Amino acid sequence: MRAAAALVLLLTDPAIAVSPALSPAPRVFLARQRPLRAAPRCSSSDPATEVARWCVANGQSDAAVVVSGATGLAEAMRDFWYVTHSIGTTDDAAPLTALAFPAWSAAADGSLFERVFQHVGSCSQLSDYLGDDVLCLARHPTASDSPPPHPTMLLRRHAQSGFSSLSSEEDEYFGGVDPFAELEARLASDAPPPPPPASDEQVLATTHAWVKAVIVDMKVCPFSHSVDKAGLPQGGVTYPITRASSVEQLYQAFWEQVGELDRVDEREVATVLLLAPEFTSGSAEGFDAFADSLNEALTSLKLEEKLQLVFFHPGFAFRDGKERMGGEGAAANFARRSPVPMINLLRTPQVRAAQKGIPTGSVYDTNEKNLASVGSEQLQEMLHRCEWSALEGRTYLPHQTRAAIESAANR
């Protein structure tokens, strides 16, 4: 991630915390303050002033106004998830936050903004805060009723009372007291402390060792040339690490990498492996649900022509209708079982070029045979120990090219 101030507070606002890592930097202030005391060098047509006046005119003078500098979809989504997480984790957040996107020219298309809003709504089913603590509404300049000056997401902090995991009837019955709190505290006191999280250096070293042994040397990906080179044409591989533990944080990190991949030439960066060691590492099902939400984004936001995704997890299992939880078929899962949860961002033109050379189905078949030759038990032990030296010196079946497959079929 590019280092930059995440939020530049033009006027002091206790509702949004200042944190690092966003560029361009959104600007935050209270709506009621802006029309009365505009910041230096801000004209009456300044987007921040326009949004603040719109909030005041609509009876929302206590709203926190956030002006995003995003110029494209990836930056806008990154800012949205950052602000949502900030609201959800801040006790004294303003009751309403208006997140405006004046620099995002494509959002002038109301249909695109609506698709973004629909995607965000689908993500709320997984989110830690959106949908429960934070409610979202989209407002667009093309609206007939009180349109904002710029495309705007309204994020309302939903104050909850009582024990949130109980229904309203149960919460009332228990008098707003968590009946399981004492038991959970007692169980927690008896449990051994969790191991300290691996450092970034340890995560990176383990990932590199796994990529070399499994992805490159075993040729699970026949277009990975080394730990640092992959793709057609050959380009670099980056390994950003995020310490995201919430859904909102990982969405933010993901969209940051989408933007980075779009900004650099394919020969500089062909592919990205986003490492998330603290996100659902013990829940393959939870990670699958998160993966599904990102695949849905590729479709609904029409990104398939630019971006493809592959997901890795320590507990990954193929959902292809075959027996993958035991026996010979279980070894195939290790093509996607990694030391930590990972999101692989691939450029669609490179994926299509690779498929022309070696069919995807053939890659899967060859990988399954090569992994089965090692065995699922040994592969699981290697993954558990993060040690793959036992694979050194082994030989594997080569991947068949499309031309060779077609030639054999014509004989």
pLDDT number for residue 334? 95
Angle at 252 between CA 248 and CA 254, to 5 degrees: 115
pLDDT number for residue 268? 96
pTM for the structure as a whole: 0.84
pLDDT number for residue 48? 85
DSSP 368-390: HHHHHHH-HHHHHHHHHHT--GG
pLDDT number for residue 61? 87
pLDDT number for residue 39? 35
Sequence ranges of the domains in the chain: 8-157, 200-409
Containing 271, the helix (H) or strand (E) segment is: strand 271-275
Cβ-proximal residues to 181 (8 Å cutoff; 6+ apart), any chain: none
* Length of the chain, in residues: 411
Q: What is the pLDDT along the chain (411 residues), one digit of tens a residue?
A: 333 222 333 323 333 333 334 455 555 556 655 443 333 334 446 888 899 899 999 999 888 889 998 999 999 999 999 999 999 998 888 899 999 999 999 999 999 999 999 999 999 999 999 998 999 999 999 999 999 999 999 999 976 444 444 455 555 555 555 555 555 555 455 545 556 678 999 999 999 999 999 999 999 999 999 999 999 999 999 999 999 999 999 999 999 999 999 999 999 999 999 999 999 988 899 999 999 999 999 999 999 999 999 999 999 998 764 555 555 678 999 999 999 999 999 999 999 999 998 988 899 999 999 999 999 999 999 999 999 999 999 999 999 887 776 666 666
* C-alpha pair distances (Å), 68 with each of 21, 76, 343: 14, 7, 26
**Rg of the chain taking only CA atoms, in angstroms:** 24
Angle at 349 between CA 211 and CA 344, to 5 degrees: 30
pLDDT number for residue 92? 83
